[in-house]
Amino acid sequence: MSTRQVTFSKRHVGLLKKAHELSVLCDAEVGIIVFSNTGRLYEFSSLRGWWLILNFVDFLLTFVCWIF
């Protein structure tokens, strides 16, 4: 295992843990998607299923429509 892989292994766990803490402590909707350099997916979502992605896409569409 390379030094970068070891660092990623340690850091991604902490990142997902902090995302969970933020969602609980602040009653916020939080979502994180992380890909390792080997292509493995790590994710956290405070909402179930696709709701977080749908909310994000809705936000983007609203924002883009507002700009134009």
| Domains of the chain in sequence order | 3-67 (3.40.1810.10)
Three-state SS at 6: helix
> What's residue 48's pLDDT?
76
CA-CA distance, 64 to 48, in Å (whole number)? 26
Three-state SS at 58: helix
CA-CA distance, 38 to 5, in Å (whole number)? 9
16-49 pLDDT per residue, tens:
999 999 999 999 889 888 888 888 888 888 887 6
Q: What is the model's pTM?
A: 0.68
CA-CA distance, 19 to 53, in Å (whole number)? 16
